[in-house]
Amino acid sequence: MIKWWKILAALLIFYTLVWGMLGSVPRLNILHETIRNVYYHVPIWFAMLFLMGYSVVHAVKYLSGNNFTSDIISDQAAQTGLFFAVPGLLTGSMWAKFTWGTWWTFQDPKLNGVAIAVLIYLAYFILRSSIDDELKRARISAVYNIFAFVMMFVFIMILPRLTDSLHPGNGGNPAFGKYDLDSNMRLVFYPAVIGWVLLSLWILDIKKRMALLAHIQNEN
């Protein structure tokens, strides 16, 4: 009835929810037990990045094949991705408050980059909703999608690495280099990433099928 990868998503996340609390973590100053947020905050962002990648792949697919399904998938993936940015931002803000001492700082390139990336994708939805002609909307938004993905990648993954940042994995440090040393954490972190990516695909699957149904009904 339910596809195997959906069950796998639920099992993997369930395992990381329980073992993320019980497993042993390195004892670090400032972070203390909040290092466990790595299991929850980071995979959410991985899922968001994955969905945006999924979205841009289908945008390119639309441009090369003019298949309307690709446009719908691209739109729905970007929507779901942006949805995942919300808990990502909120949990990051919460974590920052209790480790860096502030909810948000505009001095930090990673945080600024994420804020800009979210705004770029908000513009994508405004662009979509402002064009009535379906073919035009699909083509223009697919082109903008490619631009948005490249800009997001620059703002989140490249620019923060060029300067200093409070956020780990930036300012010349390889991401997770610190945590990778701890094999106990890896046992939870990697399943968490796979689990949340699969769960985001599940939500996308439901949204996509809903949009396709609505599309078919509009045509009839």
Partner 1 sequence: MKIKLSLILFSLLIPFLSNAQELEPEMADVFRNDGKIYVVISVISIIFLCLIGYLVYLDIKLRKLEKRN
- Chain residues binding partner 1 by CB under 8 A are 1-2, 6, 10, 13-14, 17-18, 21-22, 202-203, 205-206, 209-210, 213, 216-217
Judge whether 100 and 166 are in contact, CB under 8 Å.
Answer: yes
Q: How large is the angle between the packed helices 183-219 and 68-99, nearest 10 degrees?
A: 140
Least separation in angstroms between residue 191's CB and partner 1 is 14
Q: How large is the angle between the packed helices 41-65 and 134-153, nearest 10 degrees?
A: 140
Least separation in angstroms between residue 201's CB and partner 1 is 12
Nearer CB in complex with partner 1: 126/216: 216
Residues 6+ apart with CB under 8 A from 112: 106, 155
Nearer CB in complex with partner 1: 54/202: 202
Judge whether 52 and 124 are in contact, CB under 8 Å.
Answer: no
C-alpha 165/C-alpha 202 separation (Å) is 34
Least separation in angstroms between residue 10's CB and partner 1 is 5
Nearer CB in complex with partner 1: 40/149: 40
Assigned token pair, 203: 């939500």
Nearer CB in complex with partner 1: 133/217: 217
Least separation in angstroms between residue 199's CB and partner 1 is 8
